[in-house]
């Protein structure tokens, strides 16, 4: 049965800039390394997507709504559905003195804040700086390839996937959730006790649970510490 709005899914995907056949984003570590965009601080793996809620490019969401669990999909996204068409009016020339007044020495390629907006420094010549306020990927067409790894069915599955948005570096097998009546009990590994401001993080998570799951009235957290004999 095809996916529907409101479904919770785990999605693997890769975004390719069509003209240059260049990978710009991926959830797969192997693909990131092959494309030369791997970042050690990034957490790779299928992403939680709540259809109709998680921000997605419209062609991608439409493709997913015609896909089922376990299926691959591929869709082309034109500029106007992605980062927009390039607007020549968003390229401006300013005096380099505007930067020097704030103690900034711009260089070509820098992304700078100028009058409350972010812009890329295109060129510097004769005391003039050319700024491009277009998104760096404006005017690009993308091909998005992906796979619906899993459709989450139970409140427990959804709750664990949602918690990983707050604790992305905790592996899924270390998180457990059980729903008894209207009480959701979430078991956490000992490592989370070392996280900065973990109390605030869990309060935010509990607040989101209350808005997403009407059958849950209370969230109970249990920190499990394994003792060695």
The pTM for the full model equals: 0.88
Place of tokens 């607040």: 207
Across the range 149-168, mean pLDDT stands at 97
Residue 59: its pLDDT value, please?
Answer: 98
Residue 114: its pLDDT value, please?
Answer: 92
Across the range 68-86, mean pLDDT stands at 97
Residue 225 pLDDT > 90, yes or no?
Answer: no
Per residue in 186-215, pLDDT tens?
999 999 999 999 999 999 999 999 999 999
Residue 112 pLDDT > 80, yes or no?
Answer: yes
Residue 77 pLDDT > 90, yes or no?
Answer: yes
Pick left, alpha or beta for residue 13 (phi over 0 → left; psi -120 to 50 → alpha; otherwise beta).
beta
Residue 134 pLDDT > 80, yes or no?
Answer: yes
**Nearest partner of 151 among 73, 229, 49, judged by Cα:** 49
Cα four-point dihedral sign 213, 216, 220, 225: negative
Place of tokens 């092959």: 34
Longest dimension (CA), the chain: 73
Cβ neighbors of 135 (< 8 A, separation 6 or more) are 83, 84
Residue 203: its pLDDT value, please?
Answer: 97
Give start and end residues of each alpha helix (H) in the chain.
29-35, 58-64, 97-100, 155-166, 198-212
Residue 228: its pLDDT value, please?
Answer: 79
Angle between helices 155-166 and 198-212 (to 10 degrees): 140
How confident is residue 226, by pLDDT bands cut at 50, 70 and 90? Answer: confident
Q: What structural domains does the chain harbor? A: 1-85+138-153 (3.10.50.40), 88-132 (2.40.10.330), 154-229 (3.30.70.2210)
């Amino acid at each position: 049965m095809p996916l529907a709005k409101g479904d919770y899914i785990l999605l693997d995907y890769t975004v390719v800039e069509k003209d240059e056949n260049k990978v710009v984003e991926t959830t797969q570590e192997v693909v990131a390394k092959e494309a030369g965009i791997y970042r050690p601080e990034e957490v790779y793996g299928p992403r939680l997507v709540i259809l109709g809620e998680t921000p997605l490019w419209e062609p991608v969401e439409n493709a997913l709504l015609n896909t089922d669990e376990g299926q691959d999909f591929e869709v082309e996204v034109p500029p106007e559905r992605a980062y927009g068409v390039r607007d020549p009016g968003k390229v401006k020339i300013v005096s380099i003195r505007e930067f020097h007044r704030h103690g900034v020495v711009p260089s070509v390629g820098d992304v700078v804040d100028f009058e409350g907006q972010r812009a890329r420094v295109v060129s510097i010549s004769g005391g003039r700086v050319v700024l491009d306020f277009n998104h760096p990927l404006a005017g690009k067409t993308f091909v998005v390839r992906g796979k619906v790894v899993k459709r989450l069915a139970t409140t427990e599955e959804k709750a664990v996937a949602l918690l990983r948005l707050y604790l992305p570096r905790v592996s899924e097998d270390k998180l457990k959730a059980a729903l008894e009546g209207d009480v959701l009990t979430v078991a956490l590994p000992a490592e989370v006790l070392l996280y900065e401001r973990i109390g605030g993080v869990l309060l935010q998570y509990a607040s989101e649970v209350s808005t997403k799951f009407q059958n849950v009235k209370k969230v109970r957290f249990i920190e499990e510490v394994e003792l060695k004999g």
